[in-house]
A and B are shown apart, each in its own frame.
Chain A
Amino acid sequence: MKAKIIITPKKAVLDPQGKTVQSALEHMGYTGVTGVHIGKYIEIDLAPGTDKAAAQKALNDAAHKLLSNPVIEDYKLEIE
């Protein structure tokens, strides 16, 4: 079992990396790019047979406390 967590900067937070990559893409001729947001991807391996609901609850807690900073970041959690 695997948990996948995608962390992105909140809309109101300055994202200079995203802005720089966006302007690089425009410079290279890729048109129609209206925004680039750079975040993090975390993959967590879970022991086989882990209870999905319990893992969801625990990982939400971990994502809130450690994996993301709710002041500046949002996250999405998926378990498969």
Chain B
Amino acid sequence: MNFSVLQFPASNCDQDAVHAIRLLGHSAQLVWHKDASLGDTDAVIVPGGFSYGDYLRCGAIARFSPVMQAVKQFADNGGLVLGICNGFQVLTEAGLLPGALIRNRDLQFHCENIFLKTATSDSPFTSKIPVGKILRVPIAHGEGCYFADEETLAKLKANNQILWQYCDASGNLTDTANPNGALQNIAGICNEKRNVAGLMPHPERACEPLLGSDDGKWIFESIFAALKNKTVAAAA
């Protein structure tokens, strides 16, 4: 499978995402923010960082870059798009995902390992995560507090769009396990069509034991499996 990893000015997890995908046996290419085309690609990663210096609001400027118009079209056609950290912020700003990410409730930048509970296996981003497995992955953000109005939140719940929630080591969704004050401990969600997802934690930084955890690979393995199914379906 071939992944396109976007590169904005001040993206800084683009190389990590490329590394993780190659490590897991697939290919990845970087796509510059001024490119109007994604080229030949099976899935898109919008990586972490501080695109355009986080000026105005995180992700606010990046969403208007030429490459994002291509991503929008790719997503509209059912393509798989995963936004990580700043990438999640970009996708909410672009309206590809509902809600917004605001300043952490304690005003601090959090750089630490957290625990994630997968709320549903019914998505191309979670299907291969072993049932009941609590993922240990790092976060590194100052604006990761997920917010959505009540109506949107109710819709997210009704449609099973909440994919990951912050929890403690045993999987309890406690307030102390919530690093940023996100509503309902939300760490990641998907859109209604389930082909676009975003999360604040960094699975690409946790794909090999050398880095302390390889739990992040389950998210990528889910995407690989979804793409494989799609290819098989298309060939049949």
Interface residues of A (CB under 8 A from B): 9, 12-14, 16-17, 20, 66-67, 69, 71-72
Contacts and interface: CB of A to CB of B under 8 A. Distances in A.
Contact of B181 (A14, A67, A72): A14
Interface of B is mostly: loop
Most chain A Cβ neighbours within 10 Å, of B102, B106, B145: B102
A69 B103 contact: no
A16 B147 contact: no
B34 interface: no
Interface in B57-116: 57, 60, 64, 92-93, 99-100, 102-107
Contacts of B211: none
B107 A71 contact: no
A16 B60 contact: no
B149 interface: yes
A67 B148 CA distance: 19
A9 B103 CA distance: 11
A71 B106 contact: no
Given A69-B93, A71-B147, A71-B148, A13 B60 contact: no
B181 to A, nearest CB: 6
A53 to B, nearest CB: 26
Nearest to A65: B64
B103 A17 contact: yes
Contacts of B57: 69
Contact of A12 (B92, B99, B106, B149): B149
B210 interface: no
A29 to B, nearest CB: 23
Given A66-B56, A67-B56, A16 B100 contact: no
A72 B56 contact: no
Contacts of A71: 92, 99-100, 147-149
11 contacts: A12-B149, A13-B102, A14-B181, A16-B105, A16-B106, A20-B107, A67-B56, A69-B93, A71-B100, A71-B147, A71-B149
Nearest to B61: A66
A69 B104 CA distance: 17
